[in-house]
A and B are shown apart, each in its own frame.
Chain A
Amino acid sequence: MSSSTSTSSRSTEPRRDTTDSKDAPLLEVRGLHVEFHTREGVAKAVNGVDYSVRAGETLAILGESGSGKSVSAQAVMGILDSPPAKITGGEIVFKGRDLLTLGSEERRKIRGAQMAMVFQDALSSLNPVHTVGMQLGEMYRVHKGLNRKDAKAKAIEMMDRVRIPAAAQRVGDYPHQFSGGMRQRIMIAMALALEPDLIIADEPTTALDVTVQAQVMDLLAELQAEYHMGLILITHDLGVVADVADKIAVMYAGRIVETAPVHELYANPAHPYTRGLLDSIPRLDQKGQELYAIKGLPPNLLRIPPGCAFNPRCPRAQDICRTTVPPLFEVTDDEGVPAPGRASACHFWKETLHD
C-alpha cells in the first residue's frame, strides 16, 4: 500500500442521512428513456432502464460503447446536452425526490453537493488555465460560500486526503504539471469535496496504466467505505468490475439485459450477451486456440433491430427473439425460488443459465 494513511483533520463529519429509512435506496432510476434527435433520425440511447443504488453500495454498469451506460449516468447527473438529447420518460428518484421534476437551479444545488461525477479523461475535464487549487476551491466558494483563503486551505486538505504528496506546495500547480494518476486523484478530490452521498465514476481508470489503476481504484473504494457513499461505476472492463462491484447491470443497446450480484454473474450468467463477453476473455487453458468471439457488431442506435436487440448476434436466437422484446425476467433457481437481485432480458434465460 502507499506510504501513509494520514487522514488530516476534517472539519465536518461525513453526512449520514437520518431522514431516509435505512432500506430505501439512495437512488432509484425507473423506466428512463433518453433520445438523441439527429439529422439521420432519432437515436434511442436509453430505452427504459431501471436500477437502484443504496448508500455504501457499488453498482457497476457494464457495457460497450453505445450501450447507453454513460448517457443514463449523465441523465442522473443532469448534465445531458439537450438538445440533442431529450429525456422522454421515466423517473430518477434521489433521496425520495424525483429529480426530473426539479428546476435547473435546484438540480444545480444537488449536483456536486449531493451527487458528483468522476470522468474518464482528467486532462480534458480539468481547466488547463486555472490551478488545481483554484478549481478544487471553487467547489467550496460556490456551494459553501467560503472565501479564497479558506477555500484554498480546504483544497489542500482534500488533496491530502487523496494522497497527493506535498499538497501544500502543489496546490498552485496547473493540471499539466501532474501525472495521469495524480490528475485522476484531483478529479476524485473534486468529486468528494462536498462529501456527496452518491458518486458516479464514468470509466475512472480507463486512461490509466495498470499499476496506477490499482492505486486509484483502491483509493476510490476506501473513500467510499469511509463516507458510506453509493457508487455507480461505469465501465467496459470485466476485470475492474469483478474487483470492486457489489452488483452489476449489463447494458446493451440502451437496455439493461441482465442484473445480478457480482459473484452470480461471473459464475453463471443468464443472458447470452453476458455469457459471450465472459467467454471472450482469454483464458489460460485456451491458449493457442481461437478466442470465442461474439459475431457481428453492436447495433446502430438509429436502427435497433426489432425484438431483442441482441438477436442478430445471438447464438440462441429463435423466431420469438426477432419479434418480441423480452422484458426483464426474474431469474429463479430450479425449484422456482427467485434468486435475489437477478434478472435477465432473454426469452431463453433458463436455457442460458443451464448452458
Chain B
Amino acid sequence: MTDGATALSAAQPGETAFKQPVQHGEAILEVRDLVKHFPLTKGVVIKKTVGAVKAVDGVSFDLVKGETLGIVGESGCGKSTLAKVLMNLEPATAGSVRYKGEEISKLSGPALKAVRRNIQMVFQDPYTSLNPRMTVGDIIGEPFQIHPEVAPKGDRRKAVQDLLDVVGLNPEYINRYPHQFSGGQRQRIGIARGLALRPEIIICDEPVSALDVSVQAQVINLLDQLQKEFNLSYMFIAHDLSIVRHISDRVGVMYLGKMVEIGTDLEIYEHATHPYTQALLSAVPLPDPAARESRDRIVLVGDVPSPANPPSGCRFRTRCWKAQDRCATEVPLLASPSWLGGLARHDSACHFAAEREIEHSAAEREIGHSAAERENGENGGNGGNGGNGGGGAAPIE
C-alpha cells in the first residue's frame, strides 16, 4: 500500500491547511483501524448497554489522489457505515481518518467545515435523497449557503446552471422540481450537488443501483468523465462487481465489518486469494449463457452472521470451506501473504490465502470465449454459436 502522506507537513487546522496540493499518487485519505460500534441498549428508564453492533471493526486503507477505490461487499458488511464515518456524519468509535495528514475526527468548527467541503457524497436513491419541495436550483445551490466563499451570492444562479451543464442537464431546468425528472436525471442532480463545492473526494454509495440498466452506463460514463475533468478521487461503494471492476483502480472487499482483501482490480478479480472474494466472484451471474455449463460456482452455505455477535477469529470461518481450528482462535491480519508471489501477493486477511487455480483458468476461458463469440457474431452474420437454447422453442406468430 502506498504511504506517501508522511511527507506532508503537519499543517495547522483551518482552511489554508487544505490548500496544499497533493500530488497524484499520494494518499489523500488515510484510514487506520477505523471502528464504528452501535451500542445495543436494554431498558427504557435505566438504559444499560448490553452489546454492540460491530458495523465497522478495524478497517485500514488509503485513498490515493485521483484514483477510484471500489468497495464491495454484501448488505450488512458495513460499507455504508464506513462511508458515513468517513464523511464524519457518524462519529467513529475508535481509529483514525486523516485527510491530507489531518485527523478529521478531532476537528470541529470551521476546520471541520473546511474538510467536509472537500469530501462530498452521492447517495444511492435519487428518489429519496432530493427534497421534493425544493427546486433543482435550490438543491444544487444549497451547499453555497453553507460555504458562501465558493460562490458569492450574485453568482450562484450562474454557478448552478454551469453545474447542470456539466452533468449533462439542460441549464433551463433550474426551476423545476425533482419529480419532473427521471431516475437517471435525478442522479445527475445528486452528482451536481456533490460537485458544487468542488470537492477532492466524492464518496458514491451505490450510485447506480436504483437506475435502469440502459441508464446506468450513462451515469457511470458521467462519473468517469468528471473524474478526469476535476481530478477527483472516488470511493465507489457498490454490490455490482462488474461495474466496480469497470470504474475502479483498486478494489476492497468487506465482510462483516472487516476488510478481507484489497488490491488492484486485476489482483482482486483475477488473482483473489481470500475464500470470500472467490465465492463472491464466482456467484456473480455472467451475462453469457455459454458459461452456464463451464462455470465453477462456489455456493456459500447459510447467511451472514449477525454483526452484533460475530464469530471469533476469522469472521468468515462459519461459511468457509477452508476453515481450520486456527481460524476460530486467531484473527487473520490484512497483510500480503509471504508464501504467494506475483499478482497473488496482495493484502488478504486469510490464514490460508491461495489462488483458486482451477476456477481462475475457467474464468479466463469463459471471458475469452464470450469475447470471441461476440466477435464472431459481429463479423460473421447470423451464425450465432449454433447452440440451441434447449427446452424447445415455441413458434411466435
Interface set of A (CB-CB < 8 Å, partner B): 1-3, 25, 30, 50-54, 56-58, 64-65, 179-182, 209-215, 217-218, 236-243, 245-247, 259-264, 266-268, 270, 276-278, 280-287, 290-295, 297-298, 328, 330-331, 333-334, 339-343, 353-355
Contacts and interface: CB of A to CB of B under 8 A. Distances in A.
Contacts of B182: 297-298
B354 interface: no
Given A238-B213, A261-B393, 7 more contacts: A209-B239, A261-B388, A264-B384, A267-B374, A293-B214, A333-B382, A334-B382
A182 B392 contact: no
Contact of A25 (B301, B387, B394): B394
Nearest to B303: A179
Q: List the 3 shortest-distance A-B pairs measured between CB atoms, nearest first.
A: A341-B393, A261-B389, A239-B285
B389 A246 contact: yes
Contacts of B111: none
Nearest to A338: B395
A64 B214 contact: yes
B215 interface: yes
B221 A247 contact: no
B287 A242 contact: yes
A123 to B, nearest CB: 13
B389 A50 contact: no
B114 interface: no
A293 B283 contact: no
Interface in B224-273: 224-225, 239, 241-243, 245-246, 265
A181 B303 CA distance: 8
Given A263-B388, A282-B245, A282-B246, A211 B214 contact: no
A320 B52 CA distance: 65
B101 to A, nearest CB: 30
B391 A54 contact: yes
Contacts of A355: 378
A255 to B, nearest CB: 13
A242 B396 contact: no
A263 B290 contact: yes
Given A282-B246, A291-B220, A297 B387 contact: no
Contacts of A342: 393
Contacts of B374: 267
Interface string B366-397: 01000101101110011111011111111111
A291 B376 contact: no
A210 B280 contact: yes
Contact of B287 (A218, A266, A295): A266
A259 to B, nearest CB: 5
B212 A50 contact: no
B396 A259 contact: yes
B108 interface: no
A56 B239 CA distance: 32
Nearest to B376: A267
B91 interface: no
Given A277-B213, A298-B212, A54 B285 contact: no
Nearest to A334: B381
A240 B217 CA distance: 19
B385 A328 contact: no
Contacts of A243: 285-286, 289, 292
Contacts of B291: 242
Contacts of A293: 214-215, 217-218, 221
Contacts of A268: 377, 382-384
A214 B297 CA distance: 9
Nearest to B72: A210
